[in-house]
A and B are shown apart, each in its own frame.
Chain A
Amino acid sequence: QSALTQPASVSGSPGQSITISCTGTTSDVGAYNYVSWYQQRPGKAPKLIIYNVRNRPSGVSSRFSGSKSGNTASLTISGLQAEDEANYYCCSITNRNTLRFGGGTKLTVL
């Protein structure tokens, strides 16, 4: 199964907002409100930051928000901080009870 489509890289200056898109199909992203987002710093395990499209786990900053329209989910980070520099991955459940990740997006804080 191919990966969900994410931009390879995005960048922004401190204080700005950025949005990372995650495009799938009617068999995954478009089928359910079960898209999650993960932050991964080099050499570390992924960290859940958004689940079920727009929910934040306890302890995750409110600067992280999620949304979905059709087959595309989005992660927005507002008030960009240097510590947000990391790789971000989306993930969706599919109609075959499998999981599909996006290819990952490298966020650079300028």
Chain B
Amino acid sequence: QVQLQESGPGLVTPSETLFLTCSVSDYSISNGYYWGWFRQPPGKGLEWIATIYHSGDTYYNPSLKSRVTMSVDTSRNHFSLRLTSLTAADTAVYFCAREMPGEGYMDVWGKGTTVTVSS
């Protein structure tokens, strides 16, 4: 059964860059599907950040596009998120998920990792 696990720093300083990785187990990223990043600020709703295909094709939330880069490493079977110029508004639980290509639903989610932006 496919599983996803997020990893990254719990605390990041304002203006710095966040790096998160999502490790996929029991399923090869190269076999298909899209892979996405999402976040949820404390007490608020879900927000889509970005999606990537194993070929490297990427789709970004227009509101975050200038600060986000998503990449995939098929040899390590994981994908990553880079978010620059962090502010307190980026404080959130970050989730990774498997996404059905062209249909926009996420059938498998990671448990999430909390990221706090604070000095």
For the complex, is B88 an interface residue (Cβ under 8 Å from A)? no
| A93, B73: Cα distance in complex, Å | 25
Chain A contacts for B103, CB-based, 8 A: 34, 51-52, 93
- B11 at interface, CB cutoff 8 A: no
Name the A residues within 8 Å of B105 (CB-CB).
Answer: 34, 36, 48, 51-52, 91
The smallest beta-carbon distance between B82 and chain A, in angstroms, is: 19
Stretch at the interface among A12-20, A69-77, A78-86, A96-104: A96-104
State the CA gap A40–B61 with chains docked (Å). 22
Stretch at the interface among B12-20, B22-30, B45-53: B45-53
Least Cβ–Cβ distance between B76 and chain A, in angstroms: 22
| A1-B61, A51-B100 known; A46 vs B48 contact (CB < 8 Å) | no
Interface size class of B (residues with CB under 8 A): 20 to 34
**B59 contact set on A, CB distance < 8 A:** 97-98
A38 lies within 8 A of B107 (CB): no
Interchain CB contact under 8 A, B104 and A91: yes
CB distance from A85 to the nearest CB of B (A): 17
Instruction: Say which residue of A38, A51, A57 sits within 8 Å of B46 (CB atoms).
Output: A38
**Could you tell me if A101 and B48 are in contact, using CB atoms closer than 8 angstroms?**
yes
CB of B45 within 8 A of CB of A45, answer no
Q: Helix, strand, loop or mixed for chain B's interface?
A: loop
A47 sits at the interface (CB 8 A) = yes
Q: Verify B46–A101 contact, CB threshold 8 A.
A: yes
Q: Which residue of A lies closest to B45 (CB)?
A: A104
Which residues on A sit within 8 Å (CB–CB) of B51? 99
A109 at the B interface (CB under 8 A): no
Instruction: From the candidates B36, B45, B62, B104, name the one contacting A34 in the complex (CB within 8 A).
Output: B104
Residues from chain A with a CB closer than 8 A to the CB of B67 are none
- Does the CB pair A101–B106 fall under 8 Å? no
Write the chain A residue with the least CB distance to B63. Answer: A1
Q: Are A92 and B104 closer than 8 Å at their CB atoms?
A: yes
CB of A64 within 8 Å of the partner chain: no
Further pairs besides A51-B105, A104-B45: 10, Cβ < 8 Å: A34-B104, A34-B105, A38-B106, A40-B46, A52-B105, A92-B104, A97-B59, A98-B48, A99-B36, A100-B48
The 18 listed contacts between A and B (C-beta, < 8 Å) are: A1-B62, A34-B104, A36-B106, A38-B46, A45-B95, A46-B46, A47-B109, A48-B105, A52-B105, A89-B46, A92-B104, A96-B62, A98-B59, A98-B62, A99-B104, A101-B46, A103-B45, A104-B45
